[in-house]
Amino acid sequence: MAKKGRKGKRGKKPSEPAPKIIYFDFDDTLIDKANFDSLRYCIPGGLVFPRMSKLFPETKSTLRMLKSKGYEMQIITLTQILSEPRKIEKIESFGITEYFEDIHVVRAKNSDTYRSIVVDPTAAVMVGNSFKHDIEPSAAIGMRAYHLVRSGDYPEYRSDRIKGIKRLNDLLKYL
């Protein structure tokens, strides 16, 4: 007797493969940009003293745990003011670059940007705080996305590829 095709255990679709690469946004995902001051101070001549920033409390321990589980991690970060070398300097100043294979500093975050960076969207995950810049365009190319909403409610997601998380270490529940 021929067996009928199976969808997986108990008639469910097989689950997606575990991701191999995790892409993170930087500002307001790994660091708290508004921790001490919410203002920028400008002096005559256009020099800007950046906001005082620090890592969120769970950032290093979460990155360490993900690295120990064998995930490759990369940063995709938007820059509008700083040059690419200055943005990378800023990231290096937080002492977390040892966890990342690559840092992509981009001028725009849209589907085309993600397509140019991500080789296999089905094996990748995006973690970020901006629905418009991190979540929507990455999900549009087939990535799974974790929307980091530290306060307030999650929006209603129209895709099962998107999940909301309140803290970075909540990601460990899903991966």
Reported as a single tens digit per residue, the pLDDT across 54-97 is 899 999 999 999 999 999 999 999 988 888 998 999 899 999 99
Residue 15's pLDDT band, with cuts at 50, 70 and 90, is low
* Tokens, residue 69: 């589980």
- Mean pLDDT value of segment 36-56: 54
Q: Report whether 8 contacts 60 (CB < 8 A).
A: no
Residue 49 has pLDDT above 70, yes or no: no
Domains by residue range for the chain, with CATH: 18-174 (3.40.50.1000)
Reported as a single tens digit per residue, the pLDDT across 96-127 is 999 999 999 999 999 999 999 999 999 999 99
Q: What's phi and psi for 91, nearest 5 deg? A: -65, -45
C-alpha of 93 from chain center: 19
Placement of tokens 């409390």 in the chain: 57
Report the candidate in 75, 88, 77, 86 with the shortest Cα–Cα distance to residue 133: 77
Pairing type for strands 48-49 and 41-42 reads antiparallel
Q: Three-state DSSP class for 124?
A: strand
CA angle 139, 140, 144 (to 5 degrees): 20
Residue 157's pLDDT band, with cuts at 50, 70 and 90, is confident
Q: What is the mean pLDDT of the chain?
A: 84
pTM, 2 dp: 0.81
Pairing type for strands 102-106 and 54-55 reads unpaired
